[in-house]
């Protein structure tokens, strides 16, 4: 049996601020739209929307209907309704998620987004890249990288006061 | 290896997941709630530029209609197509069955064509169950069966879309009084509605109709029986009208449709006895001037067209849940 070094989890609040700083020069407050992926990505998108002073209300997506593991695992319970409150056609969109891992969720999100229209440009913003990619997908904005074992999951949680924090789940 | 018949509910697999949808009766509340919850995100798909999601891509859904129903068949077809399935429609009363093929031979032949799902409408109660049982007994339980209406027994997707509609407008089932009005005797829809409403916690379900069109012993299902429409409608939150099924009637159950309308038709004057914010449902097709007045059918309390729209989302949810289990 191996013992792991205790992992110092990143500060989610500090990463939200760092992510907004990294994006600021690359967004147009009047024209850039955010789409958060349920559930953590929606929280991060809300933070970025406020921090960057964007005019277009943020969208949200639940990619359950586009996941590539449906035939192995079935339809996920508690699928949420996707809401895209702006015209995707010709838009500059930033997909927002909390943690980037295999890239399969982002693949599903890209497919879903194109069913609303043809965006001019899509970027990807995440708080943490934890490695382990299985598809050729890279973030446009990412303030933190770390390496986790396959049995570990990094989950973003929101407290009753709205504060965001990471939690490490060992399987 | 099949376990059909040995488990408590033939619709559920060994993990308690929905394998077939044959009837609402006996389905646990959490399964019903999960179907309604899953239907909500599917209703948004219809708002998109591309009204399709890829869940059932490459799957073949066979609509086996041994009894005609353009509307139900069409909504199942739209639902399957919005899930990206390939849909094959068979109106069997005009084809094989008239040449003498049995129900199970028809199912076997279509299974041999790599069917993934059968949507079955049949004039005989139990036909979809028989097909599901046969598939399990022959080791083909990867094929899912959806009951699209069997005899007088059940029409579970209609019952579910009615529950979805009620929840959409009324939110909390546990504070409602719901009336089901009309020809319950011939109605598989009414049976599915009663089981759905009681399972979801509606404290008072009333059935209202002439004695000749109420099944004997209907009160044993846990409903209150009224033979006076005005009395039955007093203070209800939801009115579920049923279609007068003239085509299924034999003998003198009714005097005339005019007489029926006078006693059992929903008019604005009778609707006024219900709560002011009561909603009116009807499974269609409507007989205007028989069970419902046009002023009610086209009025502000009718939610009959939203029922049709919600029906597609509910059928998408059912098919997506089955095909993934």
Q: What is residue B26's three-state secondary structure?
A: coil
Q: How many CB pairs under 8 A join A and B?
A: 53
Contact B54 A111 (CB under 8 A): yes
Please state the φ and ψ torsions of residue A129, each to the nearest 5 degrees.
-105, 115
Q: Does A86 touch chain B (CB under 8 A)?
A: no
Query: For chain B, what percent of residues have pLDDT higher than 90?
Result: 82
CATH classification number, B156-308, choose in 3.40.50.1370, 3.40.47.10, 3.40.720.10, 3.40.50.300? 3.40.50.1370
Domain count for chain A, please give it. 1
Q: Answer whether residue A12 shows pLDDT above 80.
A: yes
Residue ranges of domains in chain B: 29-154+310-324, 156-308
**B30: pLDDT confidence band, cut at 50, 70 and 90?**
very high
Q: To the nearest 10°, report the CA torsion of A44, A48, A49, A52.
A: 180
Q: Answer whether residue B97 shows pLDDT above 80.
A: no
Domain CATH number, residue A53: 3.40.50.2020
Q: Answer whether residue B70 shows pLDDT above 90.
A: no
Domain B29-154+310-324 and domain B156-308 have a common topology? yes
Residue A45 within any structural domain of the chain: yes
Report which listed range, B11-15, B90-94, B179-183, is most confident. Answer: B179-183
pLDDT in tens, A54-64: 999 999 999 99
| Contact between A88 and A59 (Cβ < 8 Å) | no
In terms of CA atoms, which chain B residue is nearest residue A71?
B324
Chain B: give the shortest CA distance to residue A106, in Å. Answer: 16
Q: Answer whether residue B3 shows pLDDT above 50.
A: no
| Contact between B150 and B128 (Cβ < 8 Å) | yes
The mean pLDDT of B20-42, rounded to a whole number, is 96
Q: Answer whether residue B99 shows pLDDT above 70.
A: no
What's the distance, CA A104 to chain centroid? 12
Chain A: give the shortest CA distance to residue B120, in Å. Answer: 23
The mean pLDDT of A110-138, rounded to a whole number, is 97
Residue A157 within any structural domain of the chain: no
CATH of domain B29-154+310-324: 3.40.50.1370
CA gap A73, A116 in Å, rounded: 26
Contact A115 B324 (CB under 8 A): no
The mean pLDDT of A69-80, rounded to a whole number, is 90
Q: Does A61 touch chain B (CB under 8 A)?
A: no
Contact A115 B41 (CB under 8 A): no
Which residues in chain A touch residue B325, judged by CB atoms under 8 angstroms apart?
A: 74
C-beta atoms surrounding B235 within 10 Å: 12
Q: To the nearest 10°, report the CA torsion of B224, B228, B230, B234.
A: -20
The mean pLDDT of B173-182, rounded to a whole number, is 98
C-beta atoms surrounding B312 within 10 Å: 24
Structure confidence at residue B5 (pLDDT)? 45
Residue A113 within any structural domain of the chain: yes
Structure confidence at residue B6 (pLDDT)? 43
Q: Answer whether residue B1 shows pLDDT above 60.
A: no
Q: Answer whether residue A1 shows pLDDT above 60.
A: no
Residue A161 within any structural domain of the chain: no
Contact A79 B52 (CB under 8 A): no
Residue A28: which domain range?
A: 19-146
**Cis preceding-peptide flag for B285 (omega within 30 of 0):** yes
CA gap B205, A45 in Å, rounded: 45
Q: What is residue B299's three-state secondary structure?
A: coil
Chain B: give the shortest CA distance to residue A64, in Å. Answer: 9
Structure confidence at residue A5 (pLDDT)? 60
Q: Does B139 touch chain A (CB under 8 A)?
A: no
Report which listed range, B14-18, B202-206, B210-214, B287-291, is most confident. Answer: B202-206
**A82: pLDDT confidence band, cut at 50, 70 and 90?**
very high
Contact B324 A74 (CB under 8 A): yes
Q: Does B69 touch chain A (CB under 8 A)?
A: no
| Contact between B61 and B138 (Cβ < 8 Å) | no
Residue A154 within any structural domain of the chain: no
Residue A13 within any structural domain of the chain: no
Q: How far is CA B221 from CA A139, B83, B126, B136, in A?
A: 58, 36, 19, 30
Residue A2 within any structural domain of the chain: no
Residue A160 within any structural domain of the chain: no
């Amino acid at each position: 049996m191996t013992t792991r070094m205790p992992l110092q989890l990143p500060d989610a609040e500090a990463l939200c601020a760092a992510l907004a700083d990294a994006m600021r020069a690359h967004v147009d407050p009047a024209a850039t739209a955010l789409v958060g992926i349920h559930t953590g990505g929606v929280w991060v998108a809300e933070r970025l929307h406020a921090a960057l002073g964007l005019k277009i209300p943020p969208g949200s997506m639940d990619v359950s209907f586009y996941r590539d593991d449906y035939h192995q695992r079935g339809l996920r319970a508690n699928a949420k309704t996707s809401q895209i409150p702006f015209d995707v056609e010709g838009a500059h969109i930033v997909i927002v998620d909390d943690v980037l891992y295999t890239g399969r969720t982002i693949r599903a999100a890209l497919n879903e987004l194109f069913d609303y229209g043809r965006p001019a440009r899509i970027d990807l913003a995440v708080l943490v890249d934890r490695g382990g990619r299985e598809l050729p997908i890279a973030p446009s904005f990412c303030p933190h990288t770390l390496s986790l074992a396959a049995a570990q999951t990094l989950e973003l949680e929101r407290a009753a006061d709205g504060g965001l924090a990471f939690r490490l789940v060992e399987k | 290896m099949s376990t059909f018949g040995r488990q408590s509910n033939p619709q559920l697999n060994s993990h308690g997941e929905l394998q077939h949808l044959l009837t609402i009766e006996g389905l646990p509340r959490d399964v019903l709630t999960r179907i309604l919850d899953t239907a909500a995100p599917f209703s948004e798909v219809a708002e998109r530029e591309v009204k399709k999601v890829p869940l059932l891509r490459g799957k073949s859904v066979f609509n086996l209609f041994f009894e005609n129903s353009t509307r139900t068949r069409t909504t199942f077809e739209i639902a399957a197509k919005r899930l990206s399935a390939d849909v094959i429609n068979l109106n069997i009363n005009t084809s094989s069955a008239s040449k003498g093929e049995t129900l199970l031979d028809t199912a076997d032949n279509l299974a041999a064509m790599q069917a993934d799902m059968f949507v079955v409408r049949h004039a005989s109660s139990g036909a979809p169950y028989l097909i599901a049982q046969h598939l399990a007994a022959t080791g083909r339980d990867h094929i899912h069966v959806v009951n699209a209406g069997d005899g007088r027994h059940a029409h579970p997707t209609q019952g579910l879309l009615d529950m979805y509609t009620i929840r959409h407008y009324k939110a909390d089932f546990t504070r409602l009084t719901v009336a089901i009005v009309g020809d319950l005797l011939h109605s598989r829809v009414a049976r599915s509605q009663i089981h759905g409403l009681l399972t979801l916690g509606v404290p008072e379900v009333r059935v209202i109709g002439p004695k000749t069109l109420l099944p004997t012993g209907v009160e044993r299902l846990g409903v209150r029986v009224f033979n006076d429409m005005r009395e039955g409608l007093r203070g209800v939150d939801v009115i579920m009208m049923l279609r007068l099924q003239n085509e299924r009637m034999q003998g003198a159950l009714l005097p005339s449709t005019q007489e029926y309308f006078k006693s059992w038709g929903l008019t604005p004057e009778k609707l006024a006895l219900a709560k002011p914010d009561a909603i009116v449902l009807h499974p269609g097709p409507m007989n205007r001037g028989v069970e419902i007045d046009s002023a009610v059918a086209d009025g502000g309390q009718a939610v009959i067209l939203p029922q049709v729209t919600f029906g597609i989302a509910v059928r998408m949810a059912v098919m997506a849940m089955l095909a993934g289990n």
